[in-house]
Amino acid sequence: MINVPEWIVHLYTGESFCNIHRGVYEEINKFIDSIPEPEYHDANRVIVEGHWVPEALLHLALATYEGWGDIGLKAMLHHHLLDYSDTLVTTGPYGFLVRKYGPGYGITYVIGSVHKVLDHVESDFTTLLRLLKEGRDAYSIIQEVEKTWFGGIRHRESFLSMVIKEKRKDLERCIEDLLRAARELRECIDVSAMEVSYLSWREEEGRKDVCPLCKSPVSPLELSTMMPREYIQKGLAYKVHEKCFEYLKSVIEKTSKQGLSGVEIFRKLIVEHALPPSVAFEMLKDRDLIKPGEVPRIFESGSPQVYDRELEEEWSRLIEDAVAQVERILEHTSPAAGIISEKKLPIAVDPDGRVPSFYRVLYRVLGLSKHELMPLLKEGKRDVVLNKLKEQASKMFENVWIVSFPPEAFVGVDKARLTPTALAGLVKICEIANVKIESKLEWSKAELIDLLTSIYGKVSYCEREWIDLLKRQIELQK
């Protein structure tokens, strides 16, 4: 039996994020995964270039609908889309980014790919439903769908048996509920896909003991909280430092007092604090601030279309192209050469996490230019956008302070937590400015901004670039 991801992840994300009945989902998991021969596992999930081959899905949908009705269809789609997300984050170039540097890198590609599958499901089955309701004869339906369905019809006799008049009402009801399930999943699948991305990243290179908030290891001697509890038995639960746990509680309390809803706080926790969705959900659920099925889309809300997928994919490709080209140009030039070569080494060679920290800051900075550059991309000025991204990336790779001490901060409502490498850089820059500071990771935002402003005029251009990057991360969360 093959379970990828673990069944508990299917059940937890389905129930918590998409409001899918757990009892039904458990049966769907067994129905899909309990085939003994590996070559037949997920046999009906045939996804090619973003198309779930509709003939295969139709057979699966009818079998599912007969046994479990509309909620079964939703669970079936969710199960397969989670498996597909896992495939995307464990293979290929975007999968490498997610596994190596975290879910923030490549996640738009993963989510965009999942939404593309839902787009085609809706398009394909809306066409079939229209033909059925028009009363077309079976052979006319075959001729029509052959023109529009990806893969056409390979098993005509089987297809004909499903669209004969005696079975049409049942088939129409099944397709209507399949389309409804696809539309409902569009509103929640982002969060489930991101949870799979976090779990994949965590499994890579021994990160099981890394705290999801501060991104530093939790030693056996440190107090920690395991979350979510349902993951513990399978060894999937996140270890959260007790200090980080208390900090998150204070963030939730303060943002709640500011009038933010549980849904809005949830989005802030996973976007601004880069928390796994399950940890954010558990923190809010325990305080009665959120209920199963209430989670928002990650990137946008209130719109039937999450984003222009082609543009988003092009944007992601441009960022990767820019970084790759700069790496090739500077791979033998100091200080970039060191961090580019270290990127290829296992995490154990980089115990302080300097390399992933640098690349997190790099991708974060490039991502911040999206608002400015996306209009140019919409105008077709791809080369202009690429050159601007390369210029930004080059400045970071060529700055010895940024490469040696990546200025990374995890920012809350009124607190900023520096990584150990960022703190080391701040201490050294303050020494140059002849300013003594307390060596601490956690600062109030106002205190840190005041410090950075006070030393800015006392250091050289390279140090000021370092300060600018750190200030920008903090000021974005005001």
Spell out the SS3 assignment of 88-132. HHHCHHHHHHHHHHCCCCCHHHHHHHHHHHHHHHHHHHHHHHHHH
Name the nearest CA neighbour of 240 among 280, 201, 205: 280
Do 24 and 71 lie in one domain? The reply is yes
Ranges 130-134, 302-306, 347-351, most confident: 130-134
pLDDT of 422 higher than 90? yes
Q: Which of 60-64, 88-92, 263-267 has the lowest mean pLDDT?
A: 88-92
Name the nearest CA neighbour of 456 among 474, 470, 476: 470
Residue 459 vs residues 174, 252, 453, 456, 466: alpha-carbon distances, Å: 68, 37, 11, 6, 11
Q: Select from 150, 169, 195 the last residue of a domain.
A: 195
Do 347 and 277 lie in one domain? The reply is no
pLDDT of 85 higher than 50? yes
Single-letter residue type at 171: L
Location of structure tokens 């200030």 = 471
Do 393 and 423 lie in one domain? The reply is no
- Reported pTM: 0.66
The stretch 90-97 carries a mean pLDDT of: 70
Name the nearest CA neighbour of 97 among 109, 113, 82, 84: 109
Provide the pLDDT confidence category of residue 370 given band limits of 50, 70 and 90. confident
Single-letter residue type at 72: G
For 338-380, where are the E strands, in sequence order? none
The stretch 46-73 carries a mean pLDDT of: 88
299: in domain: no
Do 163 and 28 lie in one domain? The reply is yes
Q: Are 425 and 401 in contact (CB under 8 A)?
A: yes
403: in domain: no
Single-letter residue type at 271: V
Position 327 scores a pLDDT of 94
Q: Are 201 and 207 in contact (CB under 8 A)?
A: yes
Position 140 scores a pLDDT of 86
Do 98 and 233 lie in one domain? The reply is no
The stretch 288-316 carries a mean pLDDT of: 66
Two tokens, residue 264: 């809005």
- Count of alpha carbons within 13 Å of 456, Cβ hemisphere only? 13
Location of structure tokens 């999943």 = 185
CA 124 to chain centre: 27
The stretch 318-347 carries a mean pLDDT of: 88
CA 300 to chain centre: 13
Do 57 and 157 lie in one domain? The reply is yes
Tally of domains in the chain: 4
To 10 degrees, what angle do helices 420-432 and 461-475 make? 130
Position 478 scores a pLDDT of 43
pLDDT of 96 higher than 80? no
Residue 287 vs residues 158, 244, 290: alpha-carbon distances, Å: 52, 17, 8
345: in domain: yes
Q: Are 254 and 269 in contact (CB under 8 A)?
A: no
Name the nearest CA neighbour of 189 among 67, 29, 46, 10: 10
Ranges 74-78, 153-157, 301-305, 352-356, most confident: 74-78
Tell me which H or E stretch contains 58.
helix 54-90
Number of residues that make up the chain = 478
Provide the pLDDT confidence category of residue 424 given band limits of 50, 70 and 90. very high
Q: How high does pLDDT run on average in the chain?
A: 85
Provide the pLDDT confidence category of residue 303 given band limits of 50, 70 and 90. very low
Q: Select from 346, 364, 398 the last residue of a domain.
A: 398
- Give the β-pairing of 224-227 and 238-241: antiparallel
DSSP class of residue 413 equals: S
Name the nearest CA neighbour of 452 among 366, 441, 472: 472
Burial 264-278 (b: 16+ CB within 10 A, else e): bbbbbbbeebbbbbb
Do 350 and 442 lie in one domain? The reply is no
pLDDT of 142 higher than 60? yes
Position 100 scores a pLDDT of 67
Position 375 scores a pLDDT of 87
Domain span at 446: 409-475
Start-to-end C-alpha separation, the chain: 49
pLDDT of 350 higher than 70? no
DSSP class of residue 77 equals: H
Task: For CA atoms 104, 109, 113, 116, give the dihedral sign.
Answer: positive
Find all residues with CB under 8 Å of 75, minimum gap 6, and list them: 14, 20, 21, 24, 25, 28, 68
Do 217 and 103 lie in one domain? The reply is no
Q: Select from 146, 168, 195 the last residue of a domain.
A: 195
- Give the β-pairing of 415-418 and 442-444: antiparallel
Whole-number percent of the chain with pLDDT over 90? 42
376: in domain: yes
Residue 75 vs residues 12, 15, 18, 65: alpha-carbon distances, Å: 12, 10, 9, 11
Strand partners, 444: 415
331: in domain: yes
88 or 92, which is more confident: 88
Q: Which of 4-18, 135-149, 201-215, 417-431 has the lowest mean pLDDT?
A: 201-215
346: in domain: yes
Find all residues with CB under 8 Å of 207, minimum gap 6, and list them: 201, 347
292: in domain: no
Do 186 and 227 lie in one domain? The reply is no
Do 137 and 48 lie in one domain? The reply is yes
Do 28 and 172 lie in one domain? The reply is yes
294 or 322, which is more confident: 322
Rounded Cα distance, 368 and 153, in Å: 46
302: in domain: no
Two tokens, residue 405: 């001490």
Do 175 and 96 lie in one domain? The reply is yes
The C-alpha angle with vertex 61 and arms to 55 and 64, in degrees rounded to 5, equals 145
Q: 39: how many CB neighbours lie within 10 A of its CB? A: 6
Model confidence over 272-290: pLDDT tens digits?
A: 788 899 999 999 998 999 9
Provide the pLDDT confidence category of residue 157 given band limits of 50, 70 and 90. confident
Position 324 scores a pLDDT of 92
290 or 312, which is more confident: 290
Provide the pLDDT confidence category of residue 352 given band limits of 50, 70 and 90. low
Rounded Cα distance, 271 and 284, in Å: 15
Rounded Cα distance, 173 and 184, in Å: 17
